[in-house]
Amino acid sequence: MKTPYFLGTAAAALIAGGAQAADLTVFGPWLGPDEVQVQKVIDVFRAQSGLDVAYVGSDSFEQQIMIDAEAGSAPNVAAFPQPGLAAGLAARGFLTPLAAGTDDWVRENYAAGQSWVDLGTFADKDGNDQFYGFFYKADVKSLVWYVPENFEDAGYEVPTTMEELKALTDQIVADGGTPWCIGLGSGGATGWPATDWVEDMMLRTQPADVYDQWVSNEIAFDDPRVIAAIEEFGAFARKDDYVAGGANAVASTDFRDSPKGLFASPAQCYMHRQAAFIPAFFPEGTEVGVDADFFYFPAYESKDLGSPVLGAGTVWGITNDSPEAHQFIAFLQSVEAHHAWMEQKGFLTPHKGVDLDKFSDPTLRKMNDILLNATTFRFDASDLMHPGVGAGSFWTGMVDYTGGKSAADVAGEIQSSWDALK
């Protein structure tokens, strides 16, 4: 076996007790059942390559990868839950650019391929953009959940455009119902569900490059285009007749409780916009696809911005260069690597070449169709912004907005908080 490429804290579990050195070391955020899933993917690579691969996961990944990189003891490959962390390492010279042509492969083989290239392109320590990050395993947030039986009983059809969604919202109110359940409560993170609404609205009212400039604060948070996107959210959330419990209940309702109104009898609401994880908070025994279902949070037909999708994903980068590390990244491009996780659960992919019949769950396949039909994919903006904004003033500002403060005032205060960080 070759000499190990790292001996940092994250690797201690790999070499404890005199374990043999691995040809390739991989570090990621997955533990428990999730680690079992990623290990099955790595098993395919082991069988194909004949290499000894050691994976270790950590619930302190973000902190540990920085410690190991600074100590010169990083793993060969790291799986980052957020591209911002990877970008920070690239700027300090701790990431190795991916092999030439990898970005071209992504453009050709991923739906909305340029979006994934953009997300994996970071500035190096000299300020030059290079392709560092390969996205493998995605998540979708642009979803609206509903109870099919409720729609059927009321004679409602799933909307396919934002214009139709707004018309349906008005129709439900006219029929004496309440269209939406919305809850922003999340303890110390209260407000974050509203940031997802605003991000989706930015993608549906502005081109993707404007979204990117907003994320980086190249355009101010109180730019009229951003204020308009906040008000698009308010068109749903700040009208008493539109929201279960009235507009004043939005901020105080816990996001984990907010979908329960879908399942009340009679229904307290007909729709709930939330990411793919929300069925974990549905009533016990709810079968997705039967008792509850979802549709794509639609785009405006009139604005001609395609079918943008908001989401998240895991970006893999080389943190300690070796031929085996590049070999592993090349493996992640193969359909076999994607099939290995598709056959389990909790995995979506923008890879256009996969066999969709490999999905173990029809719900995941349906979500993946949304991902494959995306014309633009963008990462959750609040996760990319400075933490003082994205996990601070943006959250609290949305609470203030649903409480009655104007979008312009809220946006101005968020921008002031960003200016104070510079």
DSSP 145: E
Contact yes or no for 28/38 (Cβ under 8 A) = yes
pLDDT at 10 over 70: no
Beta bridge partners of 294: 145
| The two three-digit tokens of residue 28, written as one number | 């990621």
In total, the chain counts a number of residues equal to 422
DSSP 236-247: HHS-GGGBTT-G
Please name the helix (run of DSSP H) or strand (run of DSSP E) that holds residue 204, with its range, or none.
helix 192-205
Q: 376-413: per-residue pLDDT in tens?
A: 999 999 999 999 999 999 999 999 999 999 999 999 99
pLDDT in tens, 299-351: 999 999 999 999 999 999 999 999 999 999 999 999 999 999 999 999 999 99
Q: How far apart are CA 351 and CA 371, in angstroms?
A: 9
Cα–Cα distance between 195 and 198 in angstroms, integer?
5
**Hey, CA dihedral for 196, 172, 158, 147, is it positive or negative?**
positive
Q: Could you report the per-residue pLDDT of 80-133, keeping only the tens digit for each?
A: 998 999 999 999 999 999 999 999 999 999 999 999 999 999 999 999 999 999
At residue 75 the predicted structure's pLDDT band, cuts being 50, 70 and 90, is very high
* CA gap 237, 204 in Å, rounded: 17
Model pLDDT, residue 422: 79
Measured distance CA(82)–CA(103) in Å, rounded: 19
Domains 9-140+309-379 and 143-308+382-421 share a fold: yes
pLDDT, one tens digit per residue, over 297-310 is: 999 999 999 999 99
The 143-146 sheet, strands edge to edge: 272-273, 143-146, 293-296
| CA dist., res. 379 & res. 349, Å (int) | 14
Angle at 215 between CA 97 and CA 300, to 5 degrees: 110
Domain ranges for the chain = 9-140+309-379, 143-308+382-421
∠ Cα 373 304 306 (to 5°): 15
Please state, in angstroms and as integers, the Cα–Cα distance from residue 379 to each residue in 110, 115, 144, 308, 311, following that order: 15, 9, 18, 11, 5
Q: What is the pLDDT of residue 7?
A: 34
Question: 293: which residues sit within 8 A by CB, 6+ positions away?
Answer: 145, 146, 147, 148
Query: Which pLDDT score is estimated for 21?
Result: 72
Residue 5 in this model has a pLDDT that exceeds 80: no
pLDDT over 60 (residue 264): yes
CB atoms < 10 A from the CB of 99, how many?
16
Please state, in angstroms and rounded to a whole number, the distance separating the CA atoms of residues 14 and 155.
58
pLDDT at residue 158 above 70?
yes
CATH number, domain 143-308+382-421, options 3.80.10.10, 3.30.499.10, 3.40.190.10, 3.50.50.60? 3.40.190.10
Integer Cα distance of 400 and 74 in angstroms: 42
User: Taking the mean position of all CA atoms in its chain, how far away is CA 1?
Assistant: 38
The CATH class, in words, for 9-140+309-379 is alpha beta
Token duo for residue 39? 């290990």
Residue 134 in this model has a pLDDT that exceeds 70: yes
